[in-house]
Amino acid sequence: MFLPKDFIETDEGYIFAVVAHGIEQCKVLCFLRYIKIDDSWVKVDTEQANALLKDQCPNYLYFSALLDAELHAVTIDKIVRRYQPRERLQQILNKRQYDEIEYDLIQLCNLLQENGVDLSQIGITGSLLVGVQKQSSDIDLICYGRDTFHQCRAMVTKLIKQHKLQDLTEEEWVSSYNRRSCHLSFSEYVWHERRKANKALINGRKIDLNFIDDIPYAETMSYQKCGMITLQCLVIDDTYAFDYPAVFKVSHEEYDAIVCFTATYTGQAIAGETIEVSGKIEQTSAGLKRILVGSSREAVGEYIKVIHA
């Protein structure tokens, strides 16, 4: 099964990041991240990726009926290589020579393992997954399984207190905030992010913890988008708050859940908190409604924020 945060490569010299479990219409749902230029991999942003595919490979542009969203998709027969985070991490851990970034990753993994984390349930994604890391690259760690993820979050908090990891500096928080381009103020963003316990520094290098469940939250109904809304509601269940998509069950007379496809608002609220949410209304043919946050990668004007903890 293809999992989110896996990467796949095609013979055109494209590397896509997988964004959903499994396949749809014999296609892997994904988004273009790297293109090969003169034997080197170059990262592309959303606008560049869409423009390039529209011009050169429009067959990779795809509308997902299941997600009711435009993204990219690759048929199985076009995949020439699959990059798997767990396998790649084990390759790095078993290397005899490694660069500065790999050294920081190995040191982090040793700290986690010393504190009881099973490294067979850990992987690495991002630039390290495809071997194109730079001196400034972050460490994007993948935790497979809910227990492993929450264990790693607890360990990050513990290791920061022990001064074996460091909290993000003001400069790092500003950089993270600017990359997200989110609707929240800087102080609101940092307040929400700090308590998620999924970011830290090791030797000054940023670490991000990501959660992937081998058995994902199962969507059983088809929704269609039908307008925007901003409202306040009470979160009553945060079990799937860090999933992809993140799901927050809410108490509201018209909407039963908030579904989030952007990492900016993953883990944003805890059961018992009142939130303000702005997103797109989605409705089933039977009239069941929910609110979607992250209808695009940038999620312009869409947000979740706690207004009463």
The letter for the amino acid at 271 is A
Q: Are residues 90 and 190 in the same domain?
A: yes
Locate tokens 């381009």: which residue? 181
pLDDT of 218 > 70? The answer is no
> Is 148 among the domain residues?
yes
Lowest-confidence pick of 66-70, 103-107, 130-134: 66-70
Q: Are residues 132 and 89 in the same domain?
A: yes
pLDDT of 301 reads 87
Q: Are residues 100 and 204 in the same domain?
A: yes
Q: Are residues 149 and 186 in the same domain?
A: yes
Domain end residue (candidates: 83, 100, 130) = 83
pLDDT bracket for residue 220 (50, 70, 90): low
Q: What are the structure tokens assigned to 307, written together?
A: 């207004």
Q: Are residues 195 and 142 in the same domain?
A: yes
pLDDT of 217 reads 58
pLDDT of 297 reads 64
Q: Are residues 254 and 231 in the same domain?
A: yes
Lowest-confidence pick of 13-27, 63-77, 209-223: 209-223
> Is 59 among the domain residues?
yes
Strands 122-125 and 274-283: unpaired
pTM equals 0.90
pLDDT bracket for residue 295 (50, 70, 90): confident
Domain end residue (candidates: 83, 102, 135) = 83
pLDDT of 216 reads 62
Strands 257-260 and 289-293: parallel
Average pLDDT over residues 122-139: 95
Give the whole-number percent of the chain exceeding pLDDT 70: 97
Q: Are residues 48 and 146 in the same domain?
A: no
pLDDT of 299 > 80? The answer is no
Domain that holds residue 255: 224-308
Residues 139-149, buried b or exposed e (16+ Cβ, 10 A)? Answer: bbbbbbbbebb
> Is 219 among the domain residues?
no
